[in-house]
Amino acid sequence: MDNFEKYKEFTKAQDWAAICRLNEVALDSFGTKKELSALPEYLEPDEVVFALTSGIMGQTGTSNAVEFGSNTWLVVLTTDRFLFLDCAMLSSSVDTQSVRHERVQAVSASQGFILGKITVDLGSRLLVVDNCQKATVKVIADLANKWLKEIKNTEKAPSAISADLSKTPLMNLLERLTRLAKIGAISEQEFSIAKEKILNAPAFRAEKEQLLSSLPL
């Protein structure tokens, strides 16, 4: 993900406006100021926020009992999931919904004359967030689909490593893995396993010796 370290830095600082500026949109806090204040409490350790917006969703089975009809929710795209927060108007209770990325098939955005809509395809059903700030829906859809693609590519990485050992210059492969680990696309454990495979490969030792022999004394 482009600008991953910036997203990580701004999430740690709880600077939601900076994340929006990084995405070239304005912070959409319409009806969700309480939710933005509560957001840090609901983020998991090392979870990074990519984008935020607000929008209308219908009630769910866990919606605040004192509310009725459609509510304005804070919509947050993170490294792990879509997180939805809705603070009750008359109490301190917070309704939360969480959709892990492994459940998401695709994310689409519809932009109207003034407002926009986000549709999250879960395969068995569609989750729709309406009346969002127009510019934010495309940002969230684009970032979500890009991140979903990176996740799927990462899931293929362990099986791809064995194949790449025979056809890819191993120094280049090691550099690629290091970049993936740096942006959080693979875990430290996955990186360590893959790195060990590369370093122990006979082809890597031969490649290293060839590189060292080509360096000037």
Residue 132's CATH number: 2.30.29.30
- Residue 98's nearest CA partner among 86, 108, 110 is 86
Residue 100 lies in a domain: yes
How does the average pLDDT of the chain come out, rounded?
82
CB 104 within 8 A of CB 122: yes
Tell whether 43 is covered by a domain. Answer: yes
Residue 106, in any domain of the structure:
yes
Domain presence at residue 155: no
Residue 141 lies in a domain: yes
Distance CA 179, CA 143 (A): 19
Q: Do 175 and 89 reside in the same domain of the chain?
A: no
- 121, 150, 179 — which closes off a domain? 150
- Same-domain status, 127 and 180: no
- Measuring CA to CA, how many Å separate 121 from each of 10, 32, 59, 82? 28, 24, 18, 12
Quote the DSSP letter at residue 31: T
> Per mean pLDDT, which range of 106-120, 122-136, 193-207 is the poorest?
193-207
104 and 178 co-located in one domain: no
pLDDT of residue 53: 93
The pLDDT value recorded for residue 134 is 92
**Do 142 and 193 sit in the same domain of this protein?**
no
Say if residue 172's pLDDT is above 60.
yes
Band of residue 144 on the pLDDT scale cut at 50, 70, 90: very high
> In a 3-state reduction of DSSP, which class is residue 68?
coil
25 and 51 belong to one structural domain: yes
26 plus 93 within the same structural domain: yes
Same domain? 145 vs 196: no
Residue 185: its pLDDT value, please? 73
Structural domains in the chain (count): 2
Residue 96 lies in a domain: yes
What is the reported pLDDT for 177? 81
State the pLDDT confidence band at 7, using cuts at 50, 70 and 90. Answer: very high
- Over range 68-95, report the average pLDDT: 84
Percent of residues, the chain, with pLDDT higher than 70? 77
Same domain, 48 and 121: yes
Amino acid 173: pLDDT: 77
The answer to whether residues 91 and 66 touch, using CB atoms and an 8 Å cutoff, is: yes
Residues 104 and 206 in one domain: no
How do residues 28-80 score in pLDDT, each as one tens digit? Answer: 777 788 999 999 999 998 899 999 999 998 755 444 444 445 688 999 999 99
Element (H, E) at 53: strand 49-57
Q: Which domain holds residue 89?
A: 4-150
Element (H, E) at 12: helix 4-12
Average pLDDT rounded to a whole number, residues 119-145? 93
Q: Which two tokens stand for residue 144?
A: 């979500």
Dist CA 138 CA 102 (whole Å) = 21
**Quick check: 175 pLDDT over 70?**
yes
Q: Let me know if residue 162 belongs to a domain.
A: no
